[in-house]
Amino acid sequence: MDFERIKTRLDALVASGRKAELRGALNMLNEVDIAEYLEDLDNEKMLMVFRLLPKDVSADVFSYMDNDQRTRIMEAMDDTEAMRLIDDMFIDDAVDFLEELPAGVVKRMLQGCNEQKRQLINQFLRYPENSAGSIMTIEYMEFNIGTTVGQAMAEIRRTGVDKETINTLYILDAGRKLLGTVGLRKLLLAADDRKVEELMNTQVIFVHTTDDQEVVADTVRKYDLLSIPVVDHEERLVGIVTVDDIVDVIEEENTEDFEKMAAMLPSDDEYLKTNVFTLAKNRLPWLLILMISATFTGMIITHFENVLSTAAGIGVALTACIPMLMDTGGNCGSQASTLVIRGLALGEIQFRDILKVLWKEVRVALMLGAVLALVNFLRIWFFTPYDKDIAFVVSLAMFFTIIIAKSIGCTLPLLAKAIHLDPALMASPLITTMVDAASLTVLFSIATAVFHM
């Protein structure tokens, strides 16, 4: 689909005010594409186009908008129209939107909702932020034991249109305890007089309302689920989390990890919609910490000042090799930390594996260190004016620096996980700073021993 051509056509219809044709053109588009089109319109045109959408479509389009678009729409609407829109949304989408609004606005919005929906939204808003309870929905199909297949199919036909998903049916006892699940396909192929409990799978994968959303996403990924039931601490079913919300969680968590790995405070806003003061504020704290910690590098150089000043030729040679040594060590540490952080995120590595990981990375470091040290020795001896003693010192320092860097890079994320810190914090900037100090210490210590300074 050539979206740019469609966008040009829609722009022409909006400009000419041909609302009937515009409504027909919009009805042929996916809700996601409509939300994307509305993003570039000014407030007046956006509201005009949004009001042309059918009632059920407008709620879906609203759920695909970003927070900035939603706020612009709500500011242009009166309270009655806004309440009608929230009433038409799935409960999890309505909660996601209301969580971003000021408390006073949320209170005003909820006053216009029907009593049942208001109670449900208030219940959802009480769950901890980023928990399973805060992202679940209650629009699913549930049946009590004793229900026949024929009765279940009739109920699905009657109410299924209002459910977020009907692919999986949940079987409960009289106390709402989750007993099992039945796939829609199995229900379609069964005889009408069979009981749903005869078809159900009793090995149910579920999460609790207070579980972190990252745990929910990991569980869905691990078991390849399209939805996962959410139960309270008495294992009573209270909702489900669908895969579309899981995709949003994965995107959010990955973005947060990337920002932490780049030494920035996490932000929920899109880059182009974030002002420069916020960007600077998010980056400044870690830059200050890293800048101050980098002073240890200067202290090490000052401590070994005699090595650099005793013999001018040796001092110049060692100084010239410092950037190469520090960069190589930082790169080696970053490689190890990246793989370990990925393994932790996917559940492939646990803290109990720290010795296995360290032993593996040390063996990798021995091989890499030997190759890089040899190449570096030959490079310095044959292509620089320095003699083989300088080449030996720098290459030996590189060998040990790589071992230290790999060890630091693989263990720091695991140690962070053990003390309940985000492993992404122990990524490139922090590891590089630590490896820089270690590489200088190693280089000058070896030079001091070899040259008797």
- Distance between CA atoms of 118 and 103, rounded to whole angstroms? 14
pLDDT at 283: 67
pLDDT at 252: 78
Burial classification of residue 134, based on how many CB atoms lie within 10 Å of its CB (0-12 exposed, 13-18 middle, 19 or more buried): buried
As a whole number, mean pLDDT of residues 207-229 equals 91
- Distance between CA atoms of 112 and 83, rounded to whole angstroms? 6
Burial classification of residue 293, based on how many CB atoms lie within 10 Å of its CB (0-12 exposed, 13-18 middle, 19 or more buried): middle
**Where is pLDDT greater, at 168 or 81?**
168
As a whole number, mean pLDDT of residues 290-310 equals 68
**For 102-155, how does the pLDDT look when each residue is reduced to its tens digit (9 = 90+)?**
666 666 666 666 677 777 777 777 888 889 998 898 889 999 999 999 999 999
- Distance between CA atoms of 266 and 257, rounded to whole angstroms? 8
Strand order in the sheet with 227-231: 207-208, 227-231, 237-242
CA dist list (Å): 262 to 249, 304, 427, 429, 431: 20, 31, 8, 7, 11
Evaluate the CA torsion angle 42, 43, 46, 52 in order and state its sign. Answer: negative
pLDDT class for 17, splitting at 50, 70, 90?
A: confident
Model confidence at 453: pLDDT above 80: no
pLDDT at 228: 95
**For 338-384, how does the pLDDT look when each residue is reduced to its tens digit (9 = 90+)?**
888 888 877 788 899 999 999 999 999 999 999 999 999 999 888 88
Among 244-258, 261-275, 435-449, the minimum mean pLDDT is found in: 261-275
**For 383-433, how does the pLDDT look when each residue is reduced to its tens digit (9 = 90+)?**
888 888 889 999 999 999 999 999 999 998 898 888 887 777 666 677 888
- Distance between CA atoms of 101 and 86, rounded to whole angstroms? 13
As a whole number, mean pLDDT of residues 189-209 equals 94
**Where is pLDDT greater, at 80 or 351?**
351
- Distance between CA atoms of 264 and 281, rounded to whole angstroms? 9
Evaluate the CA torsion angle 393, 399, 404, 405 in order and state its sign. Answer: positive
The tokens of 229 are what? 């039931």
The whole-model pTM stands at 0.62
Q: Which residues of 110-132 are buried (b: 16+ CB within 10 A; e: fewer)?
A: bebbeeebbebbeebbebeeebb
Model confidence at 192: pLDDT above 80: yes
- Distance between CA atoms of 229 and 165, rounded to whole angstroms? 12
Paired strand residues for 142: 170
What are the chain's domains? 3-127 (1.25.60.10), 141-249 (3.10.580.10), 294-451 (1.10.357.20)
Model confidence at 201: pLDDT above 90: yes
